[in-house]
Every structure is written in C-alpha cells, then in structure tokens.
C-alpha cells in the first residue's frame, strides 16, 4: 500500500505559489505526457480483464507537474460538472491524494467511473492550454482515475456527511448513473431514499452495457455499497409503471420522484432480413454477456456466437459490441459504418483499442439487406458504398449512396447498434406526463422538474442516448431542486 504524503497544510494560495516557485512553466511544459500501460492486445482478446491498467503514484505526481495551474483554467469550461481541475491536480502534485479526491467529489460523485468512460478528449482535455501550444493536453482523465482508484484500493472511502435525517420518502426510478447520483445527493440531504430498478442488478448501462474490459463491475459494486452505507435502500425486479405506478408509490408515502429510466430501447434500420436469426440489437447482445454472464464458465445464459460478426454503427455501443464479439471467439469482427473514421462518434481510445484487437473497419459502407440459410440463420449481408456529401443538421457530412456499388459479404451474426430510444414503460403509465415526439420526458432545464409537481427526470430519459457525466449532472441538479422544494414545503406546513 502506498502511503500518502500529507505533510503540507497550507492555504491553497500559499502552496500554489510554492509549487509554481519549484518548477517554471517552461520546465513543466517540457515534461512528456504519461502513457497508460495497457493489457497486451493479443492476450486481451482471450480474456475480459480491464485493458487500461491505470498509472502509478509516481507517474501521477509527474503528470500533475505538467499542469500550468492557469489563471483562467480553460479545462474547467470543458467539464460538464465543473470539477476544479487545477486544484485536484495540484493536490496530486503535492502527494496529497486524499485532498485531490475530496476536490473531485465536490462535483463528481463517481470519479472511478468517469475517469474510465468520460470522453475527456472532447471535454476537459480538448480545452487544456497545451492544445493551443500544439502539445498534448494534461492527462486529466488519467489523473482523475488515479485519484479515484487510490481511494478504492486504499479503502479510504470518503462517504459524504449526511444532514440530519428528515425521513421524507423520495423514490428514484432507475439505478443508472443519473439515478445513483440523485440518490447520493438526496441521501446527503437527509431524505429516506429508495431506488427502484427494473433489472435484477443495479447500475444501468454501467452494468449491462459497458463491458468488464472497460469498466470492471467491482467498481459499480463498491459505489452501490457506498450508497447503501449512506442509507439508500435498493429494490430490484421492480418496474415502476408495471409492478406499481407512481400514484401507488405516492400512496405509500413517497413525496418526490426522480425518473432516471434511461434510453434502453434499441433502434433498428427496418431493412429486409433484419428479423432473421442471428440479427440482434447491441442491447440484447451486451446485456446477455455483461448482465447475465453469457459466455462465462458456470453460467448457462444462451448467447449467439459468430465466427464472422458484423456490427452496424460507429458509437461506443458498436465498439463495445464488436470488441465483445472478438472476445467471444469471432475470427472476423467487422464494424460497418456509413460515414468515415473522422465522423465516428465512439471515443478515439475505443477505436484505437478495437484496431489493435484486429477489428476490421468497413467505413463509408451501409447494409441494405440480410440473407439467411434454409434454417433462417443469417449468412450474408448486402452492402452499399457511400461517399460524404454536404453537412446535415448534426454538422457532420451526410453519407450519400454511390449507385451500383453494392456487394455482399458472408456473416453469421449481425449486431445492430445504430442508437437507442427512451424506455417507454414509465411515460406510458402516466398519460399526463409531458413527453417529446421522441419519447423523452420534457423538463425545466434549471430544476429538471417535469410538468407534474413532485416528478423530476434526468439522464438519457430526458436527453436520449447521451453520456454518463451528463446523466450524473442531471441527477445532482434534480436532487438539489427536490431538496429545495421539500424544504419550502416544510416551512409552509
């Protein structure tokens, strides 16, 4: 176990001056960015262990020296929850990791998750001053992960202080990142929080979508355990809207509701042959493997395996699916994506890791029809080539069909990963709830309150498929508004 050097006890400004004095900006900018050790690509396609291995205390302290502690830290503008990035990094530079983790946790409830899955390269790191200097940005994501892992490995577990318990019952619907962060802040505020989860285990996409090789389940288990220690109660196999309605829960005394039910409804392309055996959604594929342990010795959950697997799409979900297929024994695992690599929404790191693992990329290519053998099992896909035209409403160049470019390839499994829609069960159980034409719950941006008093919502059920950090930010915003509203009600009584 590494001991934390916690000897300097100065006011922030004092030690910042002292650190600046130790090393000039020019020297700091000459330090090379740390490289994270990764599991060998030949080995990792045969197992499920985490690919990124993290950085050591020494590497973290050296990387922290690169940070210039800018007077106007642009990195913070890129962080959706506004972490005080230079303050946590300078604490790492001093060797005061306890303080670093506390700084991060002022605004981010689950840094071990965010340090692994947040797209830092387009958020905080994209804004780092070093980018303007045409140098690699400070490895903010690696440092966040380091501090969070340090806390977990050393069992420091800084549980937040709980305000005086008020015993007001609040229901959180869905245990994904939105629900978990709302539950954490509501418990901190003293409420009696119950999280209702439709599935048989907690964590939402963090558990059933993102594979072990990117986000180990032990991290989610620890975070759920911490919430339980804070007094949050969890109820599984409970579908709000079916097992009981929100009105039923109101009758049981719940005074406010946070809906974080996510966007887990898969989209399909509606092309011929999509209902053959062996064509399935990434949600189904990943849920079987990640949540229901298909493919793990000792578990008998069935899952279709393929030797020639096509994954349709270019987002994180597509990358997770294709890399899972490789680990499940695919000899040829192919991404089929209608735009080019430059437009791919997946994280750059995921694309790089997929390439290292031998994943083929058929870009500027779109499937238009599946074919099957006499047993109805998919055996070929008809593809057409695309080129890029003018930008569309998303700002990305529109893919345009190249006439006469069709060709077939042999496959025995296709995983469709072209986006998701909001989970409809809860909104459908509440006819008065205001929803958009896409099925997302409409809320006030400041408070996350829906059109119905006492019902708040956030995360993917409001945004459509978005990101973990945005879901967490919504959960926290809603929790603050719920707390405020409950306090006002208490004054009025």
Ligand X SMILES: Cc1cc2nc3c(=O)[nH]c(=O)nc-3n(C[C@H](O)[C@H](O)[C@H](O)COP(=O)(O)OP(=O)(O)OC[C@H]3O[C@@H](n4cnc5c(N)ncnc54)[C@H](O)[C@@H]3O)c2cc1C
Distance from C-alpha of 475 to C-alpha of 411, rounded to nearest angstrom: 42
Nearest to ligand X of 160, 424 (CB atom): 424
Whole-number Å distance between alpha carbons of 405 and 386: 8
| CB 403, min distance to ligand X, A | 34
Asked if residue 138 binds ligand SF4 (CB under 6 A), the reply is yes
Range 152-171, binding ligand SF4 (CB under 6 A): none
Partner touching 69 among ligand X, ligand SF4, none, CB below 5 to 8 Å by kind: ligand SF4
Residues 285 and 322: their CA atoms lie apart, in Å, by: 10
Instruction: Residue 278: name its binding partner from ligand X, ligand SF4, none (Cβ under 5 to 8 Å by kind).
Output: none
Task: Give me the least distance between CB of 80 and ligand SF4, in Å please.
Answer: 15
SS3 327: helix
* Residue labelled with tokens 């119905």: 452
CA atoms within 13 A on the CB side of 223: 28
| Interface stretch with ligand SF4, choices 17-25, 122-130, 174-182, 260-268 (CB under 6 A) | 122-130
Of 316 and 449, which has the nearer Cβ to ligand X? 316
Question: What's the rounded Cα separation, in Å, for the pair 447 and 83?
Answer: 20
- Those residues whose C-beta lies under 8 Å from the C-beta of residue 466, and which sit 6 or more positions away, are 459, 460
Task: Indicate which of ligand SF4, ligand X, none lies near residue 129 (CB less than 5 to 8 Å, by partner kind).
Answer: ligand SF4
- Asked if 86 touches ligand SF4 (CB under 6 A), the answer is yes
Q: What radius of gyration do the chain's Cα atoms show? A: 24
Q: Determine the Cα–Cα distance for residues 256 and 166; give it in Å rounded to an integer.
A: 14
Count Cβ neighbours within 10 Å for each residue of 372-411 and write b for 16 or more, e otherwise: beeeeebbbbbbbbbebeeeeeeeebebeeeeeeeeebeb
The answer to the question of residue 19 lying near ligand SF4 (CB under 6 A) is no
Residue 367, contacted partner among ligand X, ligand SF4, none, CB below 5-8 A by kind: none
Q: Which of 8, 31, 36, 70 binds ligand SF4 (CB under 6 A)?
A: 70
- Interacting residues toward ligand X by CB under 6 A: 117-118, 173-179, 196-199, 204-205, 209-210, 239-241, 260-262, 264, 286, 316-317, 320, 347, 423, 425-426, 459-461, 465-469, 471
Query: Candidates 123-131, 161-169, 247-255, 275-283 — which segment interacts with ligand SF4 by CB under 6 A?
Result: 123-131
Q: Which tokens in the block code for residue 353?
A: 């890791």
**Residue 128 binds ligand SF4 (CB under 6 A):** yes
Q: Return the number of the residue (52 or 175) whose C-beta is nearest ligand X.
A: 175
Minimal distance in Å, beta carbon 85 to ligand SF4?
5
How many of the chain's residues bind ligand SF4 (CB under 6 A)? Answer: 14
Residue 226 makes contact with ligand SF4 by CB under 6 A: no
Q: How many whole angstroms separate alpha carbon 391 and alpha carbon 225? A: 46
CB of 12 vs ligand X, minimal distance in Å: 30
Query: How many angstroms from the chain centroid is the CA of residue 120?
Result: 12
Q: How far is CA 282 from the centre of its chain?
A: 16
Q: Which residues lie near ligand SF4 (CB under 6 A)?
A: 67-70, 73-75, 85-86, 128-130, 138, 140
């Amino acid at each position: 176990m590494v001991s934390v050097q916690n000897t300097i006890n100065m006011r922030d400004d004092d030690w910042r001056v002292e650190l600046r004095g130790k090393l000039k900006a020019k020297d700091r900018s000459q330090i090379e960015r740390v490289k994270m050790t990764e599991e060998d690509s030949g080995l990792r396609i045969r197992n499920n262990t985490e690919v990124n291995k993290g950085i050591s205390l020494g590497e973290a302290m050296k990387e922290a020296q690169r940070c210039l502690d800018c007077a106007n830290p642009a990195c913070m503008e890129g962080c959706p929850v506004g972490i005080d990035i230079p303050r946590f990094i300078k604490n790492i530079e001093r060797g005061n990791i306890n303080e670093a983790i506390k700084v991060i946790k002022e605004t981010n409830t689950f840094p071990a998750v965010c340090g692994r899955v947040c797209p830092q390269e387009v958020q905080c790191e994209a804004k780092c001053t070093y980018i303007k200097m045409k140098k690699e940005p400070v490895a903010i994501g690696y440092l966040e992960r380091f501090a969070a892992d340090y806390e977990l490995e050393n069992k420091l577990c800084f549980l937040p202080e709980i305000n005086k318990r008020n015993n007001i019952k609040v229901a959180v619907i869905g245990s994904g990142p939105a629900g978990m962060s709302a539950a954490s802040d509501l418990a901190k505020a003293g409420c009696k929080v119950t999280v209702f989860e439709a599935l048989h285990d907690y964590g939402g996409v963090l558990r059933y979508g993102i594979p072990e090789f990117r986000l180990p389940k032990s991290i989610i288990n620890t975070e759920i355990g911490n919430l339980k220690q804070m007094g949050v109660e969890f109820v599984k196999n409970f579908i709000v809207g079916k097992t009981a309605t929100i009105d039923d829960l109101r009758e049981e005394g719940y005074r406010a509701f946070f809906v974080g039910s996510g966007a887990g409804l898969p989209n399909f392309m509606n092309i011929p042959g999509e209902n053959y055996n062996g064509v399935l959604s990434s949600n189904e594929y990943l849920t079987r493997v990640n949540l229901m342990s298909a493919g793990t010795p000792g578990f008998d959950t069935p899952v279709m395996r393929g030797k020639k697997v096509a994954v349709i799409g270019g987002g994180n979900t597509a990358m997770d699916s294709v890399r899972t297929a490789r680990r499940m024994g695919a000899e040829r695992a192919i991404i089929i994506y209608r735009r080019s690599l430059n437009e791919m929404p997946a994280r750059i790191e995921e694309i790089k890791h997929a390439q290292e693992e031998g994943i083929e990329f058929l870009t500027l290519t779109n499937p238009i029809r599946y074919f099957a053998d006499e047993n109805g099992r998919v055996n070929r896909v008809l593809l057409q080539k695309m080129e890029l035209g003018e930008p569309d409403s998303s700002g990305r160049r529109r893919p345009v069909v190249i006439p006469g470019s069709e060709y077939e390839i042999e496959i025995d499994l296709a995983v469709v990963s072209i986006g998701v829609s909001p989970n409809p069960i809860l909104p459908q159980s509440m006819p008065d709830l205001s929803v958009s034409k896409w099925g997302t719950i409409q809320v006030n941006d400041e408070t996350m309150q829906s059109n119905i008093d006492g019902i708040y919502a956030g995360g993917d059920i409001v945004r459509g498929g978005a990101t973990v950090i945005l879901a967490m930010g919504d959960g926290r915003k809603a929790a603050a508004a719920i707390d405020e509203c409950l306090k006002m009600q208490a004054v009025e009584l």
